Chains A and B, each alone.
Chain A
Amino acid sequence: DQQVKQNSPSLSVQEGRISILNCDYTNSMFDYFLWYKKYPAEGPTFLISISSIKDKNEDGRFTVFLNKSAKHLSLHIVPSQPGDSAVYFCAASDGGATNKLIFGTGTLLAVQP
């Protein structure tokens, strides 16, 4: 039972354009969402997060949008740079005492120069 889904295994965009990575979830108890970036042979690196009380959070070139009614979130990267090429994971937490993260399967982003 995949509670967090990233349906696009890969995405290719041109340098300077917008990258949009999508994530869907099924558990309505999730109230905190995070995006991580992962390079090969490294651990996931935290990018940006959003609480369920918000619908948008921005940090530099990265913006996360949350649509609770659709149980959908997206990460926008503008402008995309070749160094952004990595696997992006969406993760969710139910905000309880455990703080365990449920991860999606990841999307491989390739930014072409």
Chain B
Amino acid sequence: DSGVTQTPKHLITATGQRVTLRCSPRSGDLSVYWYQQSLDQGLQFLIHYYNGEERAKGNILERFSAQQFPDLHSELNLSSLELGDSALYFCASSVSGWGGETQYFGPGTRLLVL
């Protein structure tokens, strides 16, 4: 158990809908990262938040957004969902977010868009 929690574990929805994925980092960690793992791709970095502020963006679609709240939990919002958004979404956390820090991953949310 990494100490990172994600809810829900599974999510099934329809195209065009909007969903919210939630992540709670390990106790004491200030940084939260979101990654997407599609069937045909490895883990792709989406976005990094540190202590409530966005620090870096990766290949995140404009339909996707995230935020980190004062209690440090984070939410990833996916809107206007398409079939291709079906994937595993992982959250990770680290202490400060500087390069070279180990990231610890949550169990993931499996999203299926029908």
Residues of chain A whose beta carbon lies under 8 Å from any beta carbon of chain B = 31-32, 34, 36, 41-46, 49, 51, 89, 91, 93-106
Contacts and interface: CB of A to CB of B under 8 A. Distances in A.
B18 interface: no
Nearest to A104: B42
A32 B100 contact: yes
A27 B33 CA distance: 21
Q: Which of A45, A91, A100, A105 has the most CB of B within 10 A?
A: A100
A99 B48 contact: yes
A89 B43 contact: yes
B108 A99 contact: no
A49 B107 CA distance: 21
Nearest to A95: B99
30 contacts: A31-B100, A32-B99, A34-B103, A43-B6, A43-B90, A44-B43, A44-B90, A44-B105, A49-B102, A89-B43, A93-B100, A94-B99, A95-B100, A96-B99, A98-B48, A98-B97, A99-B48, A99-B56, A99-B94, A99-B97, A99-B99, A99-B101, A100-B33, A100-B45, A100-B56, A100-B58, A101-B33, A101-B43, A102-B45, A106-B42
